[in-house]
Amino acid sequence: MILTCPNCKDLLIADTHSLKCQSGHSFDKAKAGYINLLLPNQKKTSDPGDSKKMILAREQFLSDGHYNFLIDTLNLLFESQLKLKSKKKQDLHFLDIGCGSGYYTRQLLQQKTVRKIGLDISKNSIETASKKDKTSTYLVASAFNIPLTNDSADYILNVFSPLDLNEANRILNEEGNIVKVIPGPEHMKEVAMLVYDTFKPHHTNFKSEVLNHRQFQVIEEIDLTQTITFDDDSIKNLVAMTPYRFKFTSDQFDELSSMNITVSFQILVLGKTKADISIPLSNN
């Protein structure tokens, strides 16, 4: 067990229907199987994270296979490292920070030697994830106060969600990898042009944050871009699962129909600066 108490940071010990620490804090397992380790003072609202409608739309959209080209690339990345690390240790730990409904968690690293944990601040998302996947551990928890022991993670995945580099540095072991997925500059530009007068390419400071942090290095960078024709239902699900939904009136949303959309991802693979790591995958 590598889970820790969010109150006192002591190791959590599994009981029949709960997790307990030596200080007496106890956390019951929900009927769906997940564990809520999010403290009240870690919530800005009573029900933080994605709404049920956003979760349903994202799960349907991903299940239709529209982002399979991203998942295939992520699998290549993780499996190339699995071959290297499995020679050194039997049990490997994979953490999906901001896992949502757990779609990526379910699709990646399905080997029995990998113990997978999905974490999200949204109780609705984690409940959905836990119902669909009984082989992984799902936690309602904060990405800024991750309830895992130091140096316990071999892999961290972070797709389109906040990542605290200090927390990541604490829980990632010396030979571990972080795979961060962010929107490419042109991602969903056709949707943006429906609600904004001028399209501004997506911009991120994440690489600068990594350089300034000094504990990590970018060891691989992959750009993925495709133009995909979405039918009426798919384009509605795509919009509904993103913050763009709040830019559309109800009538505008109902009128959305089949269109070509640019889908663009930037994948950054990080390793600790002291580790000698190489990932044998190139975007060339």
Q: In this structure, what DSSP letter does residue 98 have? A: T
Whose structure tokens read 């309830």?
A: 147
Same domain, 21 and 128: no
**107: amino acid identity, one letter:** Q
Distance CA 167, CA 153 (A): 11
Task: Flag whether 283 is in a domain.
Answer: no
Per-residue pLDDT of 217-228, as tens digits, reads 999 999 999 999
Task: Flag whether 247 is in a domain.
Answer: yes
pLDDT at residue 276 in the model: 45
- What does pLDDT average to over the chain? 90
Same domain, 58 and 159: yes
- Would you place residue 85 in the very low, low, confident or very high pLDDT band (cuts 50, 70, 90)? low
Same domain, 18 and 68: no
Distance CA 263, CA 160 (A): 13
Task: Flag whether 36 is in a domain.
Answer: no
Task: Flag whether 284 is in a domain.
Answer: no
> Residue 231, Cβ neighbours under 10 Å: how many?
12
Same domain, 101 and 9: no
pLDDT at residue 173 in the model: 92
Same domain, 136 and 87: yes
**238: amino acid identity, one letter:** L
Q: What is the mean pLDDT of residues 127-147?
A: 95
pLDDT at residue 83 in the model: 64
Same domain, 72 and 20: no
Task: Flag whether 183 is in a domain.
Answer: yes
Q: What is the mean pLDDT of residues 171-175?
A: 92
- Cα distances (Å, whole numbers) of residue 256 to 101, 186, 246, 253: 25, 20, 14, 5
Per-residue pLDDT of 255-275, as tens digits, reads 999 999 999 999 999 999 874
Task: Flag whether 157 is in a domain.
Answer: yes
Reply yes or no on whether the pLDDT at 282 is more than 50.
no
Whose structure tokens read 């239902």?
A: 233
**Domain ranges, residue 26:** 1-30
Is-contact 98 159, C-beta < 8 A? yes
pLDDT at residue 78 in the model: 87
- Tell me the pTM: 0.90
C-alpha dihedral (196, 200, 202, 206), degrees to nearest 10: -120
| 114-120 sheet: strands from edge to edge | 35-36, 137-140, 114-120, 92-97, 153-159, 172-183, 259-272, 216-230
Same domain, 89 and 15: no
Same domain, 71 and 128: yes
Is-contact 80 279, C-beta < 8 A? yes
Same domain, 121 and 200: yes
Tally of domains within the chain: 2
Whose structure tokens read 């551990």?
A: 137
- Would you place residue 278 in the very low, low, confident or very high pLDDT band (cuts 50, 70, 90)? very low
pLDDT at residue 277 in the model: 46
Burial of 166 (0-12, 13-18, 19+ CB in 10 A): exposed
Per-residue pLDDT of 178-195, as tens digits, reads 999 999 999 999 999 999
Distance CA 72, CA 115 (A): 20
Q: H or E stretch including 227?
A: strand 216-230
Helices (H), the chain: 52-63, 68-85, 103-107, 123-132, 165-171, 189-195, 206-213, 232-240, 250-254
Same domain, 152 and 171: yes
Within its chain, how far is the Cα of 53 from the centroid? 19
Within its chain, how far is the Cα of 95 from the centroid? 8
Per-residue pLDDT of 10-51, as tens digits, reads 999 988 789 999 999 999 999 999 999 999 888 777 778 788
Q: Which two tokens stand for residue 42?
A: 């870690």
Same domain, 47 and 23: no
**185: amino acid identity, one letter:** P
Same domain, 55 and 120: yes
- Cα distances (Å, whole numbers) of residue 235 to 15, 51, 244, 258: 45, 18, 12, 7
